[in-house]
Each structure stands twice: as C-alpha cells, then as structure tokens.
Amino acid sequence: MKNFLLKLACITLIFISIRSVAANVSLVVLGDSLSAGYGLSQQQTWVAELQRRWQQEYPNIEIINASISGDTTRGGLNRLSGVIERHQPDAIFIELGGNDGLRGFDLATVEANLSDMIEQAQAKGINVALSQVMVPPNYGPRFSKRFQAVFNRVAEKYEVTLVPFFMTELVDNPDFVQDDGIHPTAEAQASIADFLSPYLLELAQQAEASSQ
C-alpha cells in the first residue's frame, strides 16, 4: 500500500508539472521606442516593470520585448516572421505606427502593413492586440483624425482589441516626458505598466484559453 501511495503521489506531481508547463503563455511586445525604452536601460522599460509584477501574480506568463527604437510598421512586418520563429509566442501586442505618422508615411501603406502583421499572426493561431497611436497636435486635426482611423479600421476588421494610446495621459506631466516631448521618462514606466496591465493580462489569458 505504501508503494502504491508513493507511486500515486509521483504520478500526481508529474501530471501537475505537465499541466503547469502546458499553461505557460508567452506574450511578445512588438513595438518602437515607446516600448523599447528610448534613453533607458532594458530593465527600466514598462515591459520589464510589468514582467517583474507578473512574476509574483502570474508566473506562467512570460513577456518578451521585441521592440526596436525607430521601427515602423514596415520594419515590424519585415521582422515579424523571425520574431515568431524565435519566440513562438501565444500572443502579440503590436505597438507600431508612431514613426510612420511622424514621417508622414502613406496611410494606406500603414494600414496594409498593420493588416499584414495581424493576418500573419492570426494564421499561426496567435492572439493579437493593437495599440492605438496618435501623432502630436502640430500635425493638424485632419491628419490626426485620418491617422487614428487607420487603427480603428484594422482592429475592427480583424476583431482584435484596440488598446488606447498609453501616452495620452502622460504628455501633460513634465516628469513623464523626456525633453524631446515624445518619449516617456524612466519615472513614467510604472504608470504605463499600470495602464497596460489589464489589457495585456486579458490578451494573455485569452491566448491561454485558446491553447487549451
């Protein structure tokens, strides 16, 4: 009887271990300097801050920062297949388009690039969330409205969550924006993590549910 109980306990532990491994979820952040942490160390970014928090509450979720400063939607599209192959993510948060807007890129091309990224990810069963992106007010209301509409259309077309632009609530706080008026400071990263946490947690949990 003792040997039987010991074997049963071992089998139970193995089963729990297998379930634990199977439940692991990886979430890739595919972004530009706002997520890469322009002027900051990797450990200062909101992505690293969120990962530290989740290590305690949600240890089964891994966040991978695949963001590059200066990246555009075209750049993200070009490297997406490599990111997917390398990290095999269950979910992707796309935070791209800001540099496209600042450089005045053709909006139809921006929309096509975002669409292609989402299609490519969804074809592999990856859950996607898209960040809304806004350009500075000096670009004018007409362009700003057309630019924002791109993200609304793409999110609606592919039925992905459109996450509100996380910089919106920060720009009026001088402690949260670098001298260039665009990039968040180290002090702002915790606030960004606070803002994005519920959206990205929902994305990760949806991906986990989809994989079961």
126, 207 contact by CB (below 8 A): yes
**Contact of 157 with 191, CB cutoff 8 Å:** no
Cα–Cα dist 16/109, whole Å:
48
Whether 180 sits among the annotated catalytic residues: the reply is yes
The catalytic position among 35, 71, 131, 183 is: 183
116 sits in the region (left: phi over 0; alpha: psi -120 to 50; else beta) called alpha
| Residues belonging to the chain | 212
Owner of token pair 């809304």:
132
Tokens linked to 151: 């993200």
Active site (annotated) includes residue 33: yes
What's the token pair of residue 5? 């109980």
Residue 87 designated active-site: no
Closest CA to 64 of 32, 34, 31, 26: 26
Which candidate in 26, 32, 33, 100 is catalytic? Answer: 33
> Of 106, 172, 179, 180, which residue is the catalytic one?
180
What type of residue is 169? E
**Active site positions, annotated:** 33, 180, 183
